[in-house]
């Protein structure tokens, strides 16, 4: 049943993304940022019995850290974004991708862990 639930959750995410264009939701750099942070968090916690749970936690934490870093980059660049709506939208979209990746990985780890 857990895998059916995971399939429903991921199907809902993919379906929602497909309505506006699936290509808008994928960025390799941000995926690697979240994966690297999740792996680092897993190693830092160093509890062999909870590897998947720690990986999922790390993915969520680094998803949020990614959005904070992205917002700092956007607001810290004085001439890049402010007043230019065409640049602001894509910059914010890229910033929010890390949270999406973090929570998606957390859903997968929830399905893979045993109760």
Binned at pLDDT 50, 70 and 90, residue 83 comes out as low
Residue 4 in any domain: the answer is no
Q: In the chain, how many domains are there? A: 1
Residue 49 in any domain: the answer is yes
Residue 32 in any domain: the answer is yes
pLDDT single digits (tens) 13-23: 999 999 988 88
Name the CA dihedral angle for 47, 50, 51, 56, rounded to a multiple of 10 degrees. -120
d(CA 40, CA 17): 29
Residue 10 in any domain: the answer is no
Residue 11 in any domain: the answer is no
Residue 19 in any domain: the answer is no
Q: Which two tokens stand for residue 51?
A: 């590897």
Task: Tell me the whole-structure pTM to 2 decimals.
Answer: 0.86
Residue 42 in any domain: the answer is yes
| Residue ranges making up the domain that contains 86 | 26-112
d(CA 1, CA 31): 27
Binned at pLDDT 50, 70 and 90, residue 81 comes out as low
% of the chain exceeding 70 in pLDDT = 91
Q: Which two tokens stand for residue 115?
A: 């109760």
> What pLDDT, on the 0 to 100 scale, is given for residue 95?
87
Q: Which two tokens stand for residue 30?
A: 């941000």
DSSP secondary structure string, 78-114?
Answer: TTTSTT-HHHHHHHHHHHHHHHHHHHHHHHHHHHHS-
pLDDT single digits (tens) 84-105: 667 777 778 888 999 999 999 9
Residue 102 in any domain: the answer is yes
> What pLDDT, on the 0 to 100 scale, is given for residue 79?
63
């Amino acid at each position: 049943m857990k895998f059916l639930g995971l399939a429903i959750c991921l199907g809902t995410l993919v379906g929602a993304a497909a309505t506006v264009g699936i290509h808008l939701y994928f960025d390799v750099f941000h995926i690697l940022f979240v994966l690297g942070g999740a792996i680092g968090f897993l190693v830092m916690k160093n509890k062999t019995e909870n590897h998947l749970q720690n990986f999922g936690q790390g993915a969520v934490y680094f998803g949020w850290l990614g959005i904070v870093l992205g917002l700092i980059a956007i607001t810290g660049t004085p001439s890049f974004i402010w007043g230019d709506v065409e640049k602001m939208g894509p910059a914010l979209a890229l910033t929010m991708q890390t949270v999406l990746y973090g929570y998606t990985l957390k859903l997968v780890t929830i399905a893979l862990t045993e109760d």
